[in-house]
Amino acid sequence: MSHSVIYLSLIHKNTIMDISQNTFAILIGITFSIIILNLYFLLLFIPLIYQAVKIIYKKDEMFFEIYRNFSKEMDFWDPWQHE
């Protein structure tokens, strides 16, 4: 029986502040959009959004990827038959 070494860096995804890089980039984009549009009161929601994303990402790392793939194919997959 042969054994091979599995490096953790190959298994775990790269994260920034415990969320995926793509999600972090979207969060930064939303923050800059709020600042550019001078809607500063909405900046209060950024920490709440970040915490919600962090909790979701801790429970399931693939959640956002699965949702993104589903949203691309949502029109093609319809469990209810329409007549």
Q: pLDDT tens-digit profile of 16-73?
A: 888 888 889 999 999 999 999 999 999 999 999 999 999 998 888 888 888 888 888 7
Residue with tokens 């793939």: 69
**What is the domain extent for residue 30?**
14-67
Is it the case that residue 79 has pLDDT exceeding 70?
no
Phi, psi of 7 (to 5 degrees): -85, 135
The two tokens of residue 21 are 């890089």
Residue 82 in domain = no
Q: Is residue 44 part of a domain?
A: yes
Whether residue 7 is contained in a domain is answered as no
The DSSP element (H or E) to which 67 belongs, if any, is helix 63-73
Q: How far apart are the first and last CA of the chain?
A: 57
Per-residue confidence band for 83, with pLDDT thresholds at 50, 70 and 90: low
Tell me if 77 is assigned to some domain. Answer: no
Task: Report if residue 32 sits inside a domain.
Answer: yes
Does residue 63 lie in a domain region?
yes
| Tally of domains in the chain | 1
Among residues 9, 25, 6, 8, the alpha carbon closest in space to that of 17 is found at 25
